[in-house]
Structures are given as C-alpha cells and as structure tokens.
Structure 1
Amino acid sequence: MMFGPAILARTLSIPSRIDEFGRSWQYHSRSDHHSKVACWGIIFDLMTTCPLLRRHVENGSVFFGINHEMRDFVHDRKKNLDLVLCTAGREEKKNKPLSLNSMTADLGILLDEVEAGQLESLPLLSRAPVGSVLMALEAKACMTAHQKALPRLYDELNSSHATVHGSNDQAIAAGFAMVNMSTEYLSPDRNKGANIDLRPSSHAQPKSAQITVDKLRQLPKRSRPGEVGYDAFAIVVVDCKNDGSAIKVVTGEPAPQAGDIFNYEAMIERLAHIYATRFKDID
C-alpha cells in the first residue's frame, strides 16, 4: 500500500504558508513546502517497499540530504535537488539534526494511525553531509494558469535529470509532478493585499489538467545508465481550490491509472527495483 499522495493531500489541506500580508495559504508557489512533503512521502513509501534500502539505512550506510547542489560536469551547470539518498560525506558545516521521523514535525506532516505505525516500524533514516548521491528527487507542481506555466515547468523538470546524470550517471533520477484539476483556484499572486476581496481564477477542466499531464509524459525516460532521461517519474492529480477546503487526490483520468508508467505506485515499485539491482553491493 502506498501512502504518499494521501499524506500530501492531507498535509497541504492545512493552510500553513503565510504571505507578506499575513494571509495563510495551503499552497504558495514561492514556498517549497509542497515539494518537501511530496519527497518525504516518496522516501516513506520507498522505505516500506524496498528491503535493501531498509537494510542499508539500518546498517548506517545510507542517509539523506536536503537541497543538495549537484553540478552537471558536461555542461557545467548546477541545480539544487529537493532531497537525495546518499552515502555520508565529510562534515563541512553543522546541519540541523534531522531524520525522516523528525521531519514530520518540521514540515507539519499529518499521518493517520496506520501511517504513524508504519513509520515507527522503519529504521531511522537520518540526515548527513552528502557523499555519493544514490537517488535524487525533484518535485514540482502546476496549480494554475496551466498552459502559461507549462513551458517553464517542463524546462525545470527536464534540466533536473540532466544535471543529476551529468554529475553521476549511476545515480537514480526520480521526478514527481502534482497537477491541479480544480475548476476554481485562489492564487496568492493574483490576490495580493491586506484588505481585498479574494477572487478565484477559473480553469477549463479537465482540459487544462489533461494538457499538462500529456506534456509531462513527453519528458525523457531512460531504462539504463548511459541513456538520457528520468529513471522514474510520477504524476499525481489533485483537486485544490486553495481556499481552505480539503484537497483531494483525483483517482480518475487524466491521472495515470494502474499499470501506467507515470502512476505513483508504478514509480515507487520501479525505484525499489532499480535501487535493489544498482546498489546491491553497498556495505
């Protein structure tokens, strides 16, 4: 059973992003909160799915890093990845002590009883200075103005796998995109001001979400090291009005269905398989 999308929707349903006018939002494009929560859920599901990763964590061989800078050796470009699984490097600066468990409080992640019990049963995955990157995660969202935002979204995601593999071809590049399918959306950027009447933007749905999903499907994918593209990628569709009402995960189309390579569960299973075969010799 995969928990990530439900955890993401439940956590983001609580308005926690504060703008300059003191207004609370569930989602704000200038915050990386949604990306961190999405990556947390991916690692959580991967830990429950991949026995080898659990063993490496329990043995103290694998850790995680946040906002790790990777540099593409070929094109000399750099990019900060949301979260990486890694071996430990030398201590260069004092990072705040963190673990997958303690991040639930830092990120305001809301777990139900089953998820909390599952987390408690897992070995403690801790943060450490990044040595060798084993897996790099990049999470993005397209919540409003889909067609206008799509070129930049695609370019940012496309540059991520290139940077990861330009730095380390053996590293697993995993991507995640959250696409909004709500017909109305309160945009923080279009509702600036301390004393204004909030006005939602209207979207032609499911057309806008479908166009976005179709474009994300065009991102390059690879089946082995030496090729170009993501090793695994998931698209999750949500219904988010950003007005304080509960965010829902959309299970029908245009969300990728069971058996689709862009389905969330398929991504986790693929990541578990790649990790188990590519890094079986880690002590």
Structure 2
Amino acid sequence: MFGQISPPRWLTDVLAAYEQVFSELFWFVVGFVVIYLFGQVFLVPFVTRVVRSRNRNNPTIETATKTYLRVVLIGFATLTGIIAAGYGRVLSESAVIIAAITFALGIAGQQVFGSLISGIFLVADPDFNVGDWIEWSGGRGTIEEVDFRVTRVRTPNNESISVPNTELTKSAINRPYGRNRYRVTEQVYVAYYEDTERALMELQQLATDYEPALDDPAPNTRIVDLGENAITVQAEFWIGDPSNTDMRIVRSDFRRLMKRRFDEEGITLAPPSAQLLSGEIAVTDGRR
C-alpha cells in the first residue's frame, strides 16, 4: 500500500497564512457591521428624535447631529472591527503605527478637518439655520442642509449647489431679509422735467397692487439719487419664501408693469444721454 502523500510545506504555510487573513477579515467585517447596524438602526434615530424634540424651531441642529453622529459611528465601528480582528494590542503598543496614522491624517485630512470645524461653527451660529435665505460672495439661496463637508443651498433658479463650509466661514454672509421673506429692490430713472412726486406715487401704487408683494411690511418708494441726467427713484417690496419663487420672473414682471404704467401716465423715463432731441421731419415733392 502506498502511504498518504502530504502537501508540500510551503503550500501548507501559504494556506495557513490565507486562513489567518480571511479569519481576521471576517472578524473585522463582523465587528464593523454589528456596531454600524446597531448605530444606524437604534442609536442615530434615538438621538435624532431627542435633538428634534428639544430644538423644534432649529432643523439645523437636527441635520448636523445626524451627519456628525454617522461620522463618529463609522470611526467607532472601524475601531471595533480592528479590535475584533485581533489588532487592538498592535494599535495600543506600537508608537510607530500611531505616529504614522497621525501623520497621514494630518497631511491628507487638512481640508476635511477644516471643513468639519467650519461646519461646527456654522451649526453653532444661531443666525445660520436651515430655511434661511443667505447671500455671500459666491452666490445666494436658501439653506437646505449643513453637511459634514459642505452646506447645500437652493438657488433662486431652483438649483441645488454644494458650498464648502470653509468658503462660508471665510465670506461675509448677508442675511438681512429674515427667514420667510425676501426684499426686492427695483430702480428706475426719471427725467428731470417730469413730476417726481407723481412718479413716486404711481410706483408706490404699482408695488402695492403687485400680487406677489406682501402687505407686511408694506411696499415703499423713495428718491435715492439726483444724477447728472436723471432722478433715480426706487421701489421696495417683500415677497414670501424665495425658495418657492422664481426671482427672475418676479423682477421681470414688475419691470414690465412699471414700464407700462409709466407709459400710460405719460411719465418719461430718463434719456440715455444729457441731450434729448425732439422735432419732426417733413418730406415734400420738389416737382412743380
């Protein structure tokens, strides 16, 4: 009888090494998945409900809490997976590994950590909330969500853009119009020889009758400049939530109605230059 042939030693060592790798990978996945699923199913919804109940008028805190809690959850699940795979002692005892990880995070994560810190500052700002209308050097719109790295803003063109948190913390943010309304300012140039008081009255009436304009605060008009060639008059009125309104249509419709009203009332808009030519040309037949 022939004896049983055993596999070569090198093959046995390779199989043992792969067995160890797959075993460590298995326990890493188990540890990560258990912690992550537990957090997603139980922890995140519970904490979100608690935050929502205590901050009903501030959805910014709710969305930010959910975002940052998920980040912490991923980090904790990853650490749990490493420990479950049997590498916990290596992480705790190897100063070289800790230094390498710290260095890698310091180099590769500068922008990420900068965005994270900027996002925390934005969330902590009581005047920066979901639903607010803001304007900054790069655009304007309504805040939809403050995320880990970016803030999502809905523009007047109904486009959703992602603005880096660092850009918002470095820029001057203009939010003078309140959370539920937006001020529309329109200017028109009236000729000097026209009755300015009548022009203001017609503009005031037009803004008051304009359907999108709110009654409170009431529309107003004023003279803002006595220019070289014309008098600049201005109308101000407020509309509701700008995220639900196409601002281009609002402005265009008001300008169209303003031009029509001035034409009907015989109010001349300012000429394009300092000289206004008038007269007539007569064409006659030179034959006798």
Higher strand share: 1
If asked which structure has higher relative contact order (CA below 8 Å, sep 6+), I would say 1
Q: TM-score range by the shorter chain?
A: under 0.3
- TM-score, normalisation: structure 1: 0.22
- TM-score, normalisation: structure 2: 0.22
Q: Looking at CA atoms only, which structure, 1 or 2, has the larger radius of gyration?
A: 2
Higher helix share: 2
